[in-house]
Amino acid sequence: MENILLIYGGFVVLLILLLITVLNPVIALYLLPLAFSLSPEIEIGKTAAREISIKVEDLLLTVLLIRVLFDFVINKNFPLERLSGGRFFTPMALHSLVLVLTTTLGVAMLYANPASGFFFTLKMLQYFFFFFVVFFYARDKRDIKIMLGSALLTMAIVTINGYLQIPGGGRIAMPFEGNNLEPNTFGGYYVVLGAVVAGLYIHEPKGRKKTLYALLLGAAVLPFIYTQSRGSWVAGGVSLLTFLALTKGVQRKILIFAFAILTVMSIPLLPENIQERARFWKAEEGFTRTETIGGIKFDPSTSERIEGYKRALVLFSRSPVFGRGITGAGFFDGQFIRLMVENGLLGLISFAFLNYTILRYLLSVYRRTPDPFSRGLALGLLCATTGMLVHSLGANTYIIVRIMEPYMLLLALLVSYEKIINKVETKGSLPDRASVTPTKYTYPYLVGEQTG
């Protein structure tokens, strides 16, 4: 009886959320960061390879996209000015086309399963749709600050949840992971959010916000360690080195260096299972597929990845240009090797172009803008991106929902914020919402609203 009431209660809440999304899309955007990390997965079907599931943000995104289409059809006026400044639309569209093309060819060649290929491709394209709807509807600094605050609140909630898991003695993971825990996902999430918080902390003037950033970042260290995700540890270290290389000022560099030293020195104080986890080269008796490189024998987890890389090179040599399509080559625990096998050289080139565009933009914003918030967010995302690229060596980072959705949200917030402050610099002042372009398509997007 209690389960039935819970299901019906959740269904009513979901309907309310969807109604809010239709009436005021911006409020739905405020809820997205919470849905990204705190929404359980609902299984709606299965393919031969895996189950098909949806989350609350999937439904919110669907309604948001329908709302954009609805506004376009009813008002007969697609506001192109709102899409100006979307620097990543071209590389995102190019990468999307490559994913669709290579997977279609993979299905035609009977490498990829049609259902699995379709849903996995759709999931990867969905991240770009999240970027689009956030950039499309985030129209002023208040919206951006609220969405960022929602993302940081979510980080605080999952951090508390992480502390609650520590006494259990095992590896910790994100909420609502079910029986198939993915600590690597939690570690990658911290690489992204931790870098962003650190960037905001570095460039935030003294005050309450700076203290909150410091507390949030400090509280995340222990759960991050207890994920026991070695790929995440390495990615976090590279992200920290990027901070050290880019930040200006001796005091800031000393602070970052001291943080790194203290973290390393604390390792001997951690439980033995975490210290054991850090030994990549510790071979295990009874494991017959131990890989050896340069006389060093690796543990089972690393050995399996090395074995997978060797198998991937064989498959890649058979279809180097187009690959075998998404899901057409089995499972590989590494983003680059998977991309190489599934989408071939076309996928690697389009992926490299997308990340080059993002890194170049973030570095440009960090170097040229005088705005502390923009500089902090750009620096954080730049270091998060380098960390994600390293994380991708041992994980499918760019297809993990709980990593990519927050990342795309934060990236869209930065691009939107830059667009807003550039308008202020160009025009001298930002127009009020009520005075935006005198057409039917005015905030809050009321259908049929006329302006005199």
Q: 222 and 166 in contact (C-beta within 8 Å)? A: yes
Strands (E), 37-156: 42-46, 51-54
For the ranges 197-206, 283-292, 298-307, which has the lowest average pLDDT? Answer: 283-292
pLDDT surpassing 50 at residue 452: no
pLDDT surpassing 50 at residue 355: yes
322: helix, strand or coil? coil
Percent with pLDDT over 90 in the chain: 36
For the ranges 145-149, 309-313, 386-390, which has the lowest average pLDDT? Answer: 309-313
Return the pLDDT at 388: 96
Return d(Cα 257, Cα 234) in angstroms, integer.
Answer: 16
Distances (CA, A) of 447 to 79, 139, 451: 14, 18, 12
Across 39-46, average pLDDT = 66
Single-letter residue type at 23: L
Beta-carbon neighbour count of residue 317 at 10 Å? 8
Local confidence band at 177 (pLDDT 50, 70, 90 cut-offs): confident
Mean pLDDT for the chain overall: 81
More confident position, 236 or 49: 236
Return d(Cα 5, Cα 315) in angstroms, integer.
Answer: 50
pLDDT one-digit tens code per residue, 101-135: 999 999 998 888 888 888 889 888 989 999 988 88
Local confidence band at 364 (pLDDT 50, 70, 90 cut-offs): very high
Local confidence band at 451 (pLDDT 50, 70, 90 cut-offs): very low
pLDDT one-digit tens code per residue, 185-225: 999 999 999 999 999 999 988 788 999 999 999 999 999 99
Beta-carbon neighbour count of residue 438 at 10 Å? 10
pLDDT surpassing 90 at residue 78: no
Across 332-357, average pLDDT = 93
Q: Which of 103-107, 171-175, 310-314 has the highest mean pLDDT?
A: 103-107
Return the pLDDT at 140: 87
Return the pLDDT at 279: 64
pLDDT surpassing 50 at residue 277: yes
Return d(Cα 133, Cα 450) in angstroms, integer.
Answer: 24
More confident position, 83 or 324: 324
Local confidence band at 327 (pLDDT 50, 70, 90 cut-offs): confident
pLDDT surpassing 60 at residue 288: no
Structure tokens at 88: 């990543």
Return the pLDDT at 271: 79
- Break the chain into its structural domains and give their ranges: 2-264+319-435
Closest by Cα among 301, 272, 308 to 287: 301
Return the pLDDT at 156: 96
Local confidence band at 334 (pLDDT 50, 70, 90 cut-offs): confident
Q: 342 and 327 in contact (C-beta within 8 Å)? A: yes
Return the pLDDT at 283: 55
pLDDT surpassing 60 at residue 410: yes
pTM: 0.85
On the 0-12 / 13-18 / 19+ scale of CB atoms within 10 A, 240 is buried
SS3 annotation, the chain:
CHHHHHHHHHHHHHHHHHHHHHHCHHHHHHHHHHHHHHCCCEEEEECCCCEEEECHHHHHHHHHHHHHHHHHHHHCCCCHHHCCCCCCHHHHHHHHHHHHHHHHHHHHCCCCCHHHHHHHHHHHHHHHHHHHHHHHHCCCHHHHHHHHHHHHHHHHHHHHHHHHHHHHCCCCCCCCCCCCCCHHHHHHHHHHHHHHHHHHHHHCCCCHHHHHHHHHHHHHHHHHHHCCCHHHHHHHHHHHHHHHHHCCCHHHHHHHHHHHHHHHHCHHHCCHHHHHHCCCCCCCCCCCCCCEECCEECCHHHHHHHHHHHHHHHHHHHCCCCCCCCCCCCCCCCHHHHHHHHHHHHHHHHHHHHHHHHHHHHHHHHHHCCCHHHHHHHHHHHHHHHHHHHHCCCCCHHHCHHHHHHHHHHHHHHHHHHHHHHHHHHHCCCCCHHHCCCCCCCCCCCCCCCCC
pLDDT surpassing 90 at residue 26: no
pLDDT surpassing 60 at residue 2: no
Cis preceding-peptide flag for 431 (omega within 30 of 0): no
pLDDT one-digit tens code per residue, 86-106: 678 889 999 999 999 999 999
Return the pLDDT at 102: 95
pLDDT surpassing 60 at residue 444: no
pLDDT surpassing 90 at residue 56: no
Q: 35 and 150 in contact (C-beta within 8 Å)? A: no
